[in-house]
Structure 1
Amino acid sequence: MIDQRCCWTRGKVIGGSSVLNTMLYIRGNRRDFDQWESFGNPGWGFDDVLPYFKKSEDQRNPYLARDKRYHSTGGYLTIQDAPYNTPLGVAFLQAGEEMGYDIVDVNGDQQTGFAPWQYTMRRGTRCSTAKAFIRPIRLRKNFHLSLWSHVTKLLIDPSTKVAYGVEFIRDGHREIVYAKKEVILSAGAINSPQLMMLSGLGNAKHLQQVSIPPIVDLPGVGENLQDHIAVGGIAFLIDYPISIVMNRLVNLNSALRYAITEDGPLTSSVGLEAVAFISTKYANQTDDWPDIEFMLTSSSTCSDGGTQVKNAHGLSDEFYNEVFGEINNRDVFGVFPMMLRPQARGFIKLRSNNPLEYPLLYHNYLTNQADVDVLREGVKAAVAFGQTATMRRFGARFHSKPPPNCKHLQLFTDEYWNCFIRQYTMTIYHMSGTAKMGPPSDPMAVVDPELRVYGVRGLRVIDASIMPTITNGNINAPVIMIAEKGADLIKAQWLKRWKRDNRSATTR
């Protein structure tokens, strides 16, 4: 990768990263949430959070909607299948069955297996949280939204430790908004800890190093950074013109079909057609808690001729041309093995006390050998998937061109795959955990199970940063669940106070 760095894009827009992501709706695994509860977070077990997944859901797949235990209809957030699939989509599921896996509802009773994707999509277009939740209530008299605004600081009284407002910049001017009840911080796993540190909440020693007076010493702020990463470049050439190739996809006919019938290849989410959850030898084979997710695509790194994906993944021209140049714009399918439970932890620090300066981001990918081992087994399974009889019907053959720094190793050995993984592994943009939820006994916990920041009154964090551990799958759905549950926690607290105050008033 260029400068050995990767690009972390975030959604600085109404709706956050749900406006930018691939719209995948994966809730995670029951054991994820039961583990959160076991860490000392009552109310966050799977049976507790399932109603909040269902609360927002409007499931448009009638087969899935019949399962009332796990799905619901009528919520703000539309969930549907892809309106368009290539012939590879069905083949992916058949290949999974050939390998001995079930076809499952990955948001239902069993996660292990193969499945079509479920998307936050409505009639072929993105259903972001802005479209789902903001648009229907935008005209309410008690709803106020400030656009083109960049928050620079949380206002906290250093003597009382009470959060009382927010400072922000709009149109080049500094402005302040005051809170009557409390401040809710939902800036995401990067900017939430950044704002807390800028406001005097964080590791006191680090804050002093950047000339910020500490208000509350919270060493966990910015720590515990987790992300899902996947191995790129697992591509299989096929003999038929049926995959997503960009220069064949973008044309007037596709545009008209998309505009008129709300389907066609332009509704495809970068060629994602099926998902699989499998367990490597490092996971408990009898336990439904897989450690690898396959993102199965009717496209790959080379499907756009090196115009977009190469840059998004931070690949150098030299690397791309050597590995993928000969298959540019060819018909391929891809398997992206994604590690689900990383052991490595990164952290975020302030570069300075300037709120407009990006923080320092240390992901620490692949610093734990256990992560490399799991990914390696995932890659082996991906290659085996492409060699099934089902996929060979399409003439599937693995593109085995080695990366430049791995040519000296024998192909397909453990040493080769270890090298391959370190050459082309990419973020899936699931940053989380940087203001983790935990009990008072956990010195690295930032918020309590009610999502209230320790040591400060009137401040909550409600976003991906509160996850103690990252969930087993894409985090779009869990973050929306956290928001739904967080909203109920806020309402419950203030309703309790309102009832208490009313009782006091009537007894006087």
Structure 2
Amino acid sequence: MSLLAVAGQVAHYAVGLSFNPLAILGLVPVFAAGLMFMRYVSVDPETHPININKVRPEYDFIVIGGGSAGAVVASRLSEVENWTVLLLEAGGDENEVSDIPTLSGYMQMSQFDWMYQTTPPTESAYCLAMIGDRCNWPRGKVLGGSSVLNAMIYVRGNRHDYDQWAAQGNPGWSYDEVLPYFMKSEDNRNPYLAKTAYHSTGGYLTVQESPWRTPLSIAFLQAGKEMGYQIRDCNGEMQTGFMLSQGTIRRGSRCSTAKAFLRPVRNRPNLHIAMYSQVTKVMIDKKTKMAYGVKFMRYGRPHFVKATKEVVLSAGAIGSPHILMLSGVGPKEDLDQFKIPVISNLKVGHNLQDHIGLGGLTFVVDEPVTFTKTRYQTMQVALEYILRERGPMTSLGGVEGLAFVNTKYAPESGTWPDIQFHFAPSSINSDPDQVRKITGLRDSIYNTVYKPLKNSETWTILPLLLRPRSSGWIKLRSKDPNVYPDIIPNYFTHKEDILTLTEGIRIALNVSASKAFQRFGSRPHKIPFPACREYEFDTDEYWECSLRHFTFTIYHPTSTCKMGPPSDPDSVVDPRLRVYGVGKLRVVDASIMPNIVSGNTNAPTIMIGEKASDMIKEDWGFRVMR
């Protein structure tokens, strides 16, 4: 095959994306794209999963959603040879462009994304700098789900998170009981981590640090040490501290859950994967209250498939409550509004939680050490990635460092931090057009606040609130499955959330003021949002105004199908993730979290998939790991 033909193959696999991959990469010569494709097919030993043409009339298990949890569940259940498993995924397959870690942001607002948006606020002000006062909420519509869109950051959360789950009446979910499931998945490629008691090798999911980073990443660690924090593995014995980012990458490329859990088992005859299959309803017998099948649309045609054992709903914290409510499981007052017969009156869609922070917190330095588009989209950089699996293109969405810090509002023990930092040696100006597209930031605000930095060297910290007190809802807008539900996050309804984040921002300012960063001349960018000009920089009022304008989420919605004991009136699923009032139906994804974890949610969601798979096997008489 000629290089020109190979380049055509690359373009073919990227058809439907809202960008030209060759233009994005800045790889003007066609042969560079050809080399990328040749590397992809020759080095990756696991070819793509098979998208079956015809779905059988019935399967033992139907898994809805092939994302961070669903891919795990389908893979693990199909380990039982005499079980038949169907995985239904609304999107298609990932491709060569989505594999490149540094291009993670370009997957958002593409064919891989559901492209959800929050409903404009009516009570508490937030997202005010965004077009229509709406924050974008990317969610994966692709095999691998949001693990194809995210920045690949691997964080497990805090020991206290899981112990709290267990204390709330969820036996089996304490930290000591879930840790083995984190380790079951993991194939850690960093020797100094793999040898510890908190990591493992040999699992499906590859975890490692990026092989490349800027000099500012070391300054970030040194700043943490100056401030009295330890440099440590925050996925280990203690979370509080600073670290280089660990990520789900393999040989320099993204390791999504589709790549990790589905490609190795693609030839199992008892596992069928049907892409472009959007589920519209779980079929539940009104008399027996048992789930018996699924309706879905595929290629413009309606289908029905029967489940003889269970339906497993893994459509995510937005998709799972949406499908449940369309199926008659949810708040009676909401379902009645759309004349949907109520099968089980549960608080589906309630308890919506998300991590929230201040976007656009920018610092300026005097030396050329930051990650800029013009500096790193070069032929040399491309070839380093293609031929050596190294270089700037392996950066984990640009996030080089993480920290977990304690504000004065954190528990006194110091072991349950309330703020997380995502450190990136770049800013909104690294690729302003794409960042504005992703965030929905108004052009007028970008031009006023950030455009003056066009030729500057900048870096950023995203201070993230780990355990928000404010919570919201997912609510139906229509009984039509194609109409997205209302997403009402209710950010900042509790004043404590603003106060905690303000303290986190000030700790971030201390990072910039450290000796480690002062050697680069670091200082904060102080041009305010137009609506915040009346407030003096670094006052409480200034930061509250800024937070309510550039409200920033890194897309961690959880808890909309809350797990809890029968005594908890807010619970949707029991501790074995079975839906209350409905037989043969479980929910397995981030929506079951009683409370959001203290950190990125992808690794915990994979853990939930691992643990739920063993629960299902146990409930059907199979011995599992202990």
TM range (shorter): over 0.9
**2:512 corresponding residue in structure 1:** 386
Q: Are 1:97 and 2:248 matched, yes or no? A: no
Distance 2:605 2:223 in 1: 31
**Correspondence for 1:47 among 176, 196, 218:** 176
- Could you say which residue in structure 1 is the equivalent of 2:502? 376
The amino acid of 2:151's aligned partner reads T
Matches within 5 A, 1:44-443: 44-67=173-196, 69-218=197-346, 220-304=347-431, 306-443=432-569
Q: Give unmatched runs, 5+ long, in structure 1.
A: 498-508
Note the alpha carbon deviations across 1:192-240, whole angstroms, 9 max, x for none: 000000000001121010121111111x100000001121122111111
Residue 134 of structure 2 is aligned to residue 8 of structure 1: no
In the TM superposition, residue 248 of structure 1 has moved relative to its aligned partner by: 2.1
Q: Residues 165 and 183 of structure 1 are in contact (CA less than 8 Å); yes or no, is this contact kept in structure 2?
A: yes
What SS class does the counterpart of residue 321 from structure 2 fall into? helix
Q: Which amino acid aligns with 1:354?
A: D
What is the identity, as a one-letter code, of the residue corresponding to 1:414? D
Deviations 1:108-132, CA, capped at 9 Å, x for gaps: 0011010011100001100000000
Alpha-carbon offset, residue 424 of structure 1: 1.2
1:224–1:347 Cα contact (<8 Å) kept: yes
Query: What residue identity is the alignment partner of 1:276?
Result: A
Q: How far 1:80 moved relative to its partner?
A: 0.5
CA distance in 2, matches of 1:122, 1:330: 33
Partners of 1:234 and 1:383 within 8 A in 2: no
CA contact (8 A) 1:270 1:299 kept: no
Match of 1:22 in 2: 151
Q: Do 1:65 and 1:72's aligned partners in 2 also have CA atoms closer than 8 Å? A: yes
**What do the CA deviations read for 1:15-58 (whole angstroms, capped 9, x no partner)?**
11001100000000000000000110000000000000000000
Q: Structure 1: how far apart are the matches of 2:621 and 2:596?
A: 31
What is the RMSD computed on CA atoms of the aligned residues? Answer: 1.0
Structure 2: which amino acid aligns with 1:63? Answer: Y
Distance in structure 1 (CA, Å) of the matches to 2:342 and 2:376: 54
1:487 aligned partner: 613
Structure 2 Cα separation of the partners of residues 51 and 174 of structure 1? 41
- CA shift digits 1:229-281 (9 cap, x unpaired): 12112211111112111122212221111100111111112321111100100
Count of residue correspondences: 494
**CA distance in structure 2 between the aligned counterparts of 1:252 and 1:85, rounded to whole angstroms:** 18
- 1:242 and 1:74 mapped to 2: Cα distance? 36
Question: Which amino acid letter does the alignment assign opposite residue 263 of structure 1?
Answer: R
- Shift of residue 311, structure 1, vs aligned partner: 2.0
Q: Matched residues in 2 for 1:466 and 1:375: separation?
A: 26
Q: Secondary structure at the match of 1:272?
A: coil
Which has the larger displacement, 245-254 or 431-440?
A: 245-254
8 Å CA contact 1:296, 1:335 repeated in 2:
yes
- One-letter amino acid matched to 1:232: G
* Cα deviation 1:299-336 (Å, max 9, x = unaligned): 111221x1111221221011111110110242111111
- Contact 1:436-1:447 within 8 A present in 2 as well: yes
Contact 1:245–1:329 (Cα < 8 Å) also in 2: no
Q: What is the identity, as a one-letter code, of the residue corresponding to 2:264?
A: P
Amino acid at match of 1:135: R
Inter-partner Cα distance in structure 1 for 2:622 and 2:423: 48
- The two structures have a TM-score, normalised by structure 1, of 0.96
Aligned to 2:113: none
Work out the CA distance in 1 between the residues paired with 2:397 and 2:145. Answer: 19
SS at match of 1:212: coil
Alignment partner for residue 575 of structure 2, among 428, 431, 449? Answer: 449
Identity among equivalent positions (%) equals 55
Structure-2 separation of matches of 1:233 and 1:360: 26
Residue type of the alignment partner of 1:333:
W
User: SS at 1:144's partner residue?
Assistant: strand
Q: Within 2, Cα distance between the matches of 1:115 and 1:287? A: 17
Aligned to 2:29: none
| Unaligned runs of at least 5 residues, structure 2 | 1-129
Contact 2:152 2:397 in 1 (8 A): no
Contact residue 246 and residue 329 of structure 1 kept, 8 A: no
Instruction: Give the secondary-structure state (helix, strand or coil) at the position aligned to 1:322.
Output: helix
Residue 315 of structure 2 contacts residue 589 of structure 2 at CA under 8 Å; is this kept in 1?
yes
| CA–CA separation in structure 2 for the residues paired with 1:398 and 1:205 | 49
CA distance in 1, matches of 2:492, 2:429: 25
- Name the CA distance, whole Å, in 1 between partners of 2:515 and 2:447: 31
Q: What TM-score, normalized by structure 2, do the two folds share?
A: 0.78
SS in 2 for 1:337: strand
Between 1:204-213 and 1:472-481, the stretch displaced more is 204-213
Deviation at 1:428, TM superposition (A): 1.0
The CA distance in 2 between the partners of 1:313 and 1:391, in whole Å, is 28
Moved more, 233-242 or 436-445: 233-242
Instruction: State how far apart, in whole Å, the 1-side matches of 2:311 and 2:542 are.
Output: 51
- Determine the C-alpha separation between the residues in 2 that align with 1:32 and 1:329: 43
